[in-house]
Copies of this chain bind each other. A is one copy, B any other.
């Protein structure tokens, strides 16, 4: 039987946590003495009182949970966080439509960063801060966060961790789940602080620097400026962001190794090699073409614009310094295809993820071998270990289902009258947690004009993408509910 009391306990506790974080943005609002202060406090009060009541009622719930509870908690916590997280935007009237407020919030928590705001600078500091903070909280994962700060959840932590961070190749760090969560958060906080400092040194205000380093490290992509990073006419700031976007899209476990001085581990990692290779290779191609087709001015700017855009899309951050839709079709199609790569496993990035692409390429090569030698058993190897057939099937199924969802969702978007490129772009950017799309939802535009149904639909896609598909599909399958 489903242990629904434990699920409610967890949700209640986490809601309290969300309410506590809202006090941070209340603090910012107080600091700037702006009109949104009461709404942060009210929202926080709602979260803490409702969450606390539920947690209190179910405090004695049995703590043994299985896989099903894990998948359910994880999916529900993202929805609950978004529903309560929209309160400051909605109650304050900054985003009057409930649908819009939900879209903006789940787009934040899932680190998608697609926005419905037409005048971001009009928002008070407290709301801008909350908008960035939810990305930062979502970036490392809500469950990872809770494991790091709520020892109570250690019991079923493993089940939830796997449901939230399902990556195909098991990580050696899993067994010591709480240690892992704390370590990941340590690096996350460290990188965020360092980036913020470097941004301040480049002339950004401390407030904007904190907000941007939140959304960089989360590969979230929300900016405090309507024009995104293009607002800052500073190559220094852009290079700093390129570097930290790259870090955020890399495996945090590798960053931990690097910080410990074990660089050989980083260099030998096959996913990192591919990640680095794709970024450098694609940036080079884009830079050369961009230089000769005249989308940017001069060599340095061509290199910087292409590097920024390639890193921004492949890490699924989605910051914009240039409108790639104005580039040559060749370049915008490359940028579009990069939406299907995504960050590394164990990063804050979304998308299909590099490790799956690597396993896919390797298996394809082995399929060719098997055609000539059908009886030879040659397992795919990854980071010097043999990869089981089950993992390969899972990876391939993941990619195919990902593509199927993209295809079917295109149909849904086209029902609202959108053309092929707008439909495809909106869907690919939502499920990939990227932010900007193609056509009417390109980097120079936003999602304000999408009908309400479309906004809810894309919100679901963001969640499906964030939880790497299977978790969400699973709980909607009848099989899951069969005893």
Contacts and interface: CB of A to CB of B under 8 A. Distances in A.
Interface in A376-396: 389-390, 392-394, 396
Nearest to A67: B372
A365 B473 CA distance: 10
Given A68-B372, A372-B480, A401 B330 contact: no
A367 to B, nearest CB: 5
Contact of A420 (B71, B333, B371, B477): B333
Contacts of A410: 333, 337
A340 B407 contact: yes
Contacts of A151: none
Contacts of A419: 329, 421
Contacts of A256: none
B332 A420 contact: yes
Interface in A393-424: 393-394, 396-397, 399-401, 403-404, 407, 410-411, 414-415, 417-421, 423-424
B411 A400 contact: no
Contacts of A363: 393, 397
B390 A370 contact: yes
A412 to B, nearest CB: 9
A368 interface: yes
A280 interface: no
Contact of A336 (B396, B400, B420): B420
Contacts of A407: 337, 340
A365 B417 contact: no
A423 to B, nearest CB: 6
A370 B71 CA distance: 13
Contacts of A400: 360, 364, 396, 399-400
A258 interface: no
Interface in A165-181: none
A369 interface: yes
Interface centre among A340, A364, A371 (most CB of B within 10 A): A371
Interface of A is mostly: helix
Interface string A3-20: 000000000000000000
A370 to B, nearest CB: 7
A90 interface: no
A329 B438 contact: no
Contacts of A365: 477, 479
A470 interface: yes
Nearest to A399: B400
Interface in A425-483: 438, 470-471, 473-474, 477, 479-480
Contact of A368 (B392, B396, B474): B474
A328 interface: yes
B328 A417 contact: yes
Contact of A411 (B334, B370, B474): B334
A449 to B, nearest CB: 16
A372 B420 contact: no
Given A470-B371, A474-B368, A438 B420 contact: yes
Contacts of A438: 420
A479 B367 CA distance: 12
29 contacts: A71-B371, A328-B414, A329-B419, A329-B420, A329-B423, A330-B414, A333-B411, A333-B423, A334-B411, A340-B407, A360-B397, A360-B400, A363-B393, A364-B397, A364-B401, A368-B473, A368-B479, A370-B394, A371-B471, A371-B474, A372-B474, A372-B479, A389-B389, A389-B393, A396-B396, A396-B399, A399-B400, A399-B403, A421-B421
Given A329-B420, A360-B397, A363-B397, 19 more contacts: A67-B372, A330-B411, A330-B417, A333-B423, A334-B411, A336-B420, A364-B397, A365-B477, A367-B401, A367-B470, A368-B470, A368-B477, A369-B479, A370-B390, A370-B394, A372-B480, A399-B400, A399-B403, A420-B438
